Amino acid sequence: MKISQYRNLIIDMDGVLWRGNSALPGLKDFVTTIRNTKCRMVLATNNSSSTVDQYINKLKRMGVNVSPEEILTSAQATGTYLQKIAKKGSRVFVIGGDGITNAIIDHEFVITEDDPEYVVIGIDKKITWEKLNTAVMNIRAGAKFIGTNPDSTYPTENGIGVGNGAILAAIEVATGVSPLVIGKPETPIYEQALERLGSNSSDTLMIGDRLDTDILGAQRADIHTLLVLTGVTTLELLETSVIQPDLVLTGLPDIISGLLAD
């Protein structure tokens, strides 16, 4: 498998481009190489906490310029999916940051704590008992339970921290209801990424750091996969996992070499 054969790239961000607020080695050269080789890319993240503009600004601070069309968050994917199944103006209770809150509003739904038709959960770094309890009460009353993403952990500069999957698990235990997940490893976010790229699964490569979301989800969507070892997955985890990528590299500099190879 040659990286250079793919003209369309779906690229995770946390653990691939950066850890927390620190760019990973080779980030600027990586994006420059993508531009120079005329590849198309969508930066597809399961992290629903930030808005597209916030991600654009974060990348700009790291010396990289991207367009809004090149960023797809699980928050956006959730809003788009909800728009397909729910009526305009439907009532939604939201746990999460600016990313998911803005996405729900942008897709013309009403955010409320009282009698919602849907409960949407994204990563919330200010999670409280009151928020969890409101979600549980509403789901028990019949609201449909939707999760932006199932990542149980989250890579930071200081190590691996708590992810949205832990919040979903707490609510699932308290309600007995499993969430409908929109982000990786489920297919809706991949379908939306392929639509943005104007590509199909056969000419697209997924680059990610998590076996259970990035790699598994791409495989479910029949997309070839490249795992980088700069995020959650270690060689030890890889060796014992039933989920195996098509290619494994240590980081962005190796991917740059692959993109430039004949």
pLDDT category of residue 158 using cuts at 50, 70 and 90: confident
Predicted pLDDT of residue 126: 92
CATH of domain 87-181: 3.40.50.1000
Half-sphere exposure of 61 (CA within 13 A, CB side): 9
Read off the pLDDT of each residue in 69-91 and give the average, rounded to a whole number.
Answer: 95
Predicted pLDDT of residue 159: 78
pLDDT of 262 above 70:
no
Write down the catalytic residue from 14, 124, 212, 214.
14
Residue 14 appears among annotated catalytic residues: yes
pLDDT of 85 above 90:
yes
Share of the chain above pLDDT 90, in %: 88
Domain ranges of the chain: 3-46+184-260, 87-181
Helix (H) / strand (E) containing 119: strand 118-121
Residue 12 appears among annotated catalytic residues: yes
DSSP secondary structure string, 121-142? E---TT--HHHHHHHHHHHHTT
Predicted pLDDT of residue 154: 75
Q: Are 3-46+184-260 and 87-181 the same fold in CATH?
A: yes
Tens digits of per-residue pLDDT, 182-192? 999 999 999 99
pLDDT of 156 above 90:
no
Q: Which residue has the tokens 């976010």?
A: 189
What number of residues does the chain have?
Answer: 262
Q: What share of the chain is helix, strand, coil (3-state, %, to 5)?
A: 40, 20, 35
Buried b (16+ CB within 10 A) or exposed e, 115-131: ebbbbbbbbbeebeeeb
In whole angstroms, how large is the CA radius of gyration of the chain? 18
pLDDT category of residue 57 using cuts at 50, 70 and 90: very high
Helix (H) / strand (E) containing 99: helix 98-106
pLDDT of 163 above 80:
yes
pLDDT category of residue 157 using cuts at 50, 70 and 90: confident
Q: Is the CB of residue 223 less than 8 Å from the CB of residue 206?
A: yes
**Mean pLDDT over the full length of the chain:** 94
CATH of domain 3-46+184-260: 3.40.50.1000
Residue 5 burial (10 A CB sphere; 0-12, 13-18, 19+): exposed
Read off the pLDDT of each residue in 147-171 and give the average, rounded to a whole number.
Answer: 87
> Pairing state of beta strands 22-23 and 18-19?
antiparallel
Predicted pLDDT of residue 221: 95
Q: Tell me the C-alpha to C-alpha distance, in Å, between residue 177 and each of 1, 141, 195, 233.
A: 41, 12, 31, 29
Helix (H) / strand (E) containing 32: helix 27-36
> What six digits make up the tokens of 74?
């699980």
Tens digits of per-residue pLDDT, 194-253? 999 999 999 999 999 999 999 999 999 999 999 999 998 999 999 999 999 999 999 999
Q: What's at 4, amino acid-wise?
A: S
pLDDT of 69 above 80:
yes
Q: What's at 21, amino acid-wise?
A: N
pLDDT category of residue 99 using cuts at 50, 70 and 90: very high
Q: Is 198 left (phi over 0), alpha (psi -120 to 50) or beta?
A: left
Write down the catalytic residue from 12, 124, 151, 214.
12
DSSP state of 81: H
Q: Is the CB of residue 1 less than 8 Å from the CB of residue 32?
A: no
Predicted pLDDT of residue 44: 96
